[in-house]
Amino acid sequence: EAGVTQFPSHSVIEKGQTVTLRCDPISGHDNLYWYRRVMGKEIKFLLHFVKESKQDESGMPNNRFLAERTGGTYSTLKVQPAELEDSGVYFCASSHRQGAWETQYFGPGTRLLVL
Amino acid sequence: AQSVTQLGSHVSVSEGALVLLRCNYSSSVPPYLFWYVQYPNQGLQLLLKYTTGATLVKGINGFEAEFKKSETSFHLTKPSAHMSDAAEYFCAVTPSGGYQKVTFGTGTKLQVIP
């Protein structure tokens, strides 16, 4: 069974540009999460999808960030326009069903550097 | 509200020595607690978890952790470090009851010295 995949693995962009990160969850997983780790700090929750619906987006830093999950499959996280403080590692995770806690499986992350 | 504090951003141990990574949590409701490990260039992998029941939890690769409610701690231990244990370890908490938002600590990088 394939794990959670993320693309690209690395991205270097200039301030003001747009970047789109993609996450493919494990097949059949209804829950999809985005997290971010700014250098040296904790991994912070951004948002949670259940299928194609946003269940909780309380962690999204501002309206420059837009997450979508078309058809309840893969998800994209767009940053537009990117700022220096957006640099960090963006992780995606997925889990099977809602309800009782289930293990979240993480992808390898996308390392974003905004210059 | 919940939070996690990991003491020590870097820990060094000799190969064969005891590994002890400290984690204290704060939670307004009974917590579920986790340790994740991240090896270089890989994603986070669940090492072990405490949800209910036995407070001493055994995980993969010989690691274990004990939930101590009175001390609000969930320290990670391994009796004998191996070179392959070198990685970054994250303690995490989520409220019990089904909602899955996870709060992570800042991570501890473990170095194993031959």
pLDDT tens, per residue, chain A with 115 residues? 679 999 999 999 999 999 999 999 999 999 999 999 998 789 999 999 999 999 999 999 999 999 999 888 999 999 999 999 999 999 999 998 766 667 888 999 999 999 9
Q: Does the distance separating the beta carbons of A106 and B36 come in below 8 Å?
A: yes
Contact A104 B106 (CB under 8 A): no
Closest approach of B70 to chain A, Cα-based (Å): 24
| Number of CB pairs, chain A paired with chain B, less than 8 A apart | 58
- Kindly list the distances between the CA atom of residue B97 and the CA atoms of A13, B22, B29, in Å, as whole numbers in the listed order: 41, 25, 9
Nearest-CA distance B15 → chain A (Å) = 26
Task: State both tokens at A94.
Answer: 């997925």
The pLDDT, as a whole number, for residue B34 is: 93
Model pLDDT, residue A41: 87
- Phi/psi of residue A114, each to 5°? -105, 120
What is the bridge-based pairing of β-strands A110-114 and A10-13? Answer: parallel
Contact B24, B103 (CB under 8 A): no
What pLDDT is stored for residue B2 in this prediction?
85
Q: pLDDT digit string (tens) for B46-91?
A: 999 998 888 999 999 999 999 999 999 999 999 999 999 999 999 9
**To which residue do tokens 């995770």 refer?**
A93
